[in-house]
């Protein structure tokens, strides 16, 4: 399994990064990370749209689900059957919001691994023969960011963008409606602050190259939320 992961995902992604590094003017690895992140998000955009639309539809059903929970609070079997019938009536798959994320996870893990080894000279042996092998990959991006070491301001920026993304998701799913106290709404409010804090803590000591990917992903996710929010309003 490890061999398949390395050869089918990690190594190709690493080689794409090096190829971008070779062709980008100034050979800026940070720009290569941004470009690759953009294309990965573009590749998965249809899945992202499907996930966001499914989440919004589930949020719209919360009042109906609450009624079912109250009606069948003492009969879990009947509650399950009624809930599935409601999903079927509205043509909603409750798992469709999670499946796209699961599909993307292996690619994201491979990208994280590629960013983690990019500046190790030994990693250059992973470059395919038809790709120009640089003597060394410059770890300085935008003339002032060392991608190989931690960057605390960037970690904070990643957390702030995570908060904005969660806030927009909450709004698109209708959790800002007054008086709405569904379980999904309460959980969303908790995650609004929990995830950004966790992002900052996790990325505090991460190499800036990995955090740059995180920043770019969050920024693009915010843009996707705006696009999907307008289309499904």
**pLDDT range class, residue 57, cuts 50, 70, 90:** confident
Report residue 18's pLDDT band, with 50, 70 and 90 as the boundaries.
very high
Domain that holds residue 51: 2-231
Domain count across the chain: 1
Give CA–CA dist 167/175, Å, rounded.
10
Question: Per residue in 191-213, pLDDT tens?
Answer: 677 888 988 998 899 889 889 98
Question: Could you tell me the pTM of the whole model?
Answer: 0.79
Please tell me the predicted confidence (pLDDT) of residue 185.
Answer: 56
Helix axes 45-60, 152-172, angle to 10 degrees: 50
Looking at residue 101, its pLDDT comes to 66
Q: What is the torsion angle, in degrees rounded to the nearest 10, for the CA atoms of residue 210, residue 42, residue 172 and residue 101?
A: -60
pLDDT higher than threshold 80 for residue 53: no
Residue 200: C-alpha distances to residues 62, 159, 223 (Å): 32, 5, 21
Residue carrying structure tokens 């061999």: 3
Highest-scoring range by mean pLDDT, 30-39, 51-60, 63-72? 30-39
């Amino acid at each position: 399994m490890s061999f398949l992961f390395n050869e089918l995902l990690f190594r190709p992604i690493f080689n794409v990064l090096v190829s971008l590094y070779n062709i980008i003017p100034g050979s800026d690895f940070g720009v290569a990370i941004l470009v690759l992140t953009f294309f990965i998000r573009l590749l998965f955009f249809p899945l992202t749209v499907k996930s966001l639309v499914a989440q919004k539809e589930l949020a719209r059903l919360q009042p109906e689900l609450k009624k079912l929970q109250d009606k069948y609070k003492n009969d879990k079997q009947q509650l399950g059957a009624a809930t599935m019938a409601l999903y079927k009536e509205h043509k909603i798959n409750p798992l469709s919001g999670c499946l796209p994320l699961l599909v993307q996870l292996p690619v994201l893990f491979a990208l994280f691994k590629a960013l983690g080894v990019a500046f190790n000279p030994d990693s250059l042996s992973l470059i395919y023969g038809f790709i120009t092998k640089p003597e060394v990959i410059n770890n300085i991006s935008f003339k002032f960011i060392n991608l190989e070491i931690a960057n605390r301001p960037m970690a904070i920026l990643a957390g702030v963008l995570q908060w904005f993304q969660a806030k927009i998701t909450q709004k698109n799913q209708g959790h800002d409606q007054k008086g709405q106290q569904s379980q999904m709404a309460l959980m969303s409010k908790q995650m609004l602050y929990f995830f950004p804090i966790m992002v900052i803590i996790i990325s505090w000591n991460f190499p800036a190259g990995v955090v740059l990917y995180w920043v770019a992903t969050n920024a693009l996710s915010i843009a996707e939320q705006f696009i999907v929010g307008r289309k499904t309003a």
